[in-house]
Structure 1
Amino acid sequence: MDLKEIQNLIKFVSNSGVAEVKLETGDVKITIKTTLESSAPEVTYVQQAPMAQAMPQVVSVPQVAAPAETAPAAPAADNSKYITVKSPMIGTFYRKPAPDKAPFVEVGSSIGKGDVLCVVEAMKLFNEIEAEISGKIVKILVDDMSPVEFDQPLFLVDPS
């Protein structure tokens, strides 16, 4: 290799973003190291700065969300006559007993006490969630095959 080829190789490596390249051809061995290692702490520092700022933003987000929660208060007043069925556990929400079967309930379905509304899978165990009241399904609040948290609302039921 001549000097021009080595210089072109150095330029190529520095533009590629690679930290180190080793090249062996015949009796020539070349190792090119770029200064990317020294820029890595800057990147880490920049990433840490927004993370530190994220904490106050997280605190300020609920303050912003509080007025947003008051806006749905009017629909919540409409929903106050409905009973919310909540998840008794953490898991994955399924509306159907099997992928090829029909859903347990649909919006508008009449349910009775003890009817199966859905299944929540937790640790490979499928737990049937049964209705504790009779009524009519008004709204399904969770998408099929979605993760759910403990006490997360799943359905709105009109008990009348």
Structure 2
Amino acid sequence: MELKEIQNLIKFVAATGVAEVKLEIDNVKITIKTTLGESSPEITYLQQAPMAQQPMQQAAPTQAAPQAQIAAAPEVDENAKYITIKSPIIGTFYRKPSPDKPMFVEVGTSIGKGDVLCVIEAMKLFNEIESEVSGKIVKVLVDDMSPVEFDQPLFLVDPS
């Protein structure tokens, strides 16, 4: 089974909302487990942001809510012009091909379609993640040697 087939299977399982899928083909055993948000780092992060705003809203609900909306609007508009490159698989994110080599990309690096941006290790296999767009790296959203989830944002790219 090839990497693209596994990635498509993961996307399909995530889209259907099935809790767990086990698949055995020849010598390959794949188990895909999905959760409804309790252990997903992205969901946890999104849930923490409203919790931090709740005390302000309780203290002055009429004033805090408009200020939060005004503060959030420029951030959304600012990032809207960038393309987000997301993780196609679950694994460990590496910015270098090996510890003694330089990083694949830095902030400000111009990239082209097909350039290797990082490596994600999954089940002892190192998968090179290639860019699907051309542009300039604006922000690296994940620390080196960190675990990443499927569809987690990794890089922001300015396509202009």
Q: Does 1:87 align with 2:76?
A: no
Change (3 A) 1:126 1:66: same
**Counterpart position of 1:105:** 105
What secondary structure is seen at the aligned counterpart in 1 of 2:119?
strand
Tell me which amino acid in the other structure corresponds to 2:142: V
Partner of 1:116: 116
Pairwise CA distance, 1:90: 0.5
Q: TM-score, normalised by structure 2?
A: 0.57
Measure, in 2, the Cα distance between the counterparts of 1:159 and 1:111.
Answer: 9
Give the aligned residue type for 1:102: P
Which residue pairs with 1:151 in the alignment?
151
Cα distance in 1 for residues equivalent to 2:73 and 2:153: 16
Q: What is the CA deviation profile of residues 95-123 of structure 1, one whole-angstrom value per residue up to 9, with x for unaligned ones?
A: 00000100000000000000000000000
- Compared CA separation, residues 72 and 119, structure 1 to 2 (3 A): farther
Structure index of larger Rg: 1
Report the 3-state secondary structure (helix = DSSP H, G, I; strand = E; otherwise coil) of the residue aligned with 1:100. coil
Equivalences for residues 55-94 of structure 1 within 5 A: 64-65=50-51, 71-94=71-94
- Counterpart for residue 135 of structure 1: 135
In 2, Cα distance between the equivalents of 1:144 and 1:63?
24
TM-score by length of 1: 0.57
CA distance, structure 1, for counterparts of residue 95 and residue 143 of structure 2? 8
1:137 deviation in Å? 0.1
Deviations 1:69-108 (A, max 9, x none): 9554421210100000000010000000000100000000
| In 1: Cα distance, 2:86 partner to 2:134 partner | 15
**Structure 1 residues 128 and 63 mapped into 2: Cα distance closer, same or farther (>3 Å)?**
closer
CA 1:134–1:145 in structure 2 vs 1: closer, same or farther (change >3 Å)?
same
- Residues 65 and 138 (structure 1), Cα distance of their counterparts in 2 relative to 1, 3 Å cut: same
Amino acid at match of 1:82: Y
SS in 1 for 2:78: helix
CA deviations 1:27-48 (Å, max 9, x no partner) are xxxxxxxxxxxxxxxxxxxxxx
- Runs of at least 4 residues of structure 1 off by over 3 A? 61-73
What are structure 1's unaligned runs of at least 5 residues?
A: 1-57
Return closer, same or farther for 1:110/1:89 CA change in 2, 3 Å cut-off: same
Instruction: Indicate the RMSD between aligned Cα atoms, in angstroms.
Output: 2.4
Unpaired runs of 5+ in structure 2?
1-43, 55-67
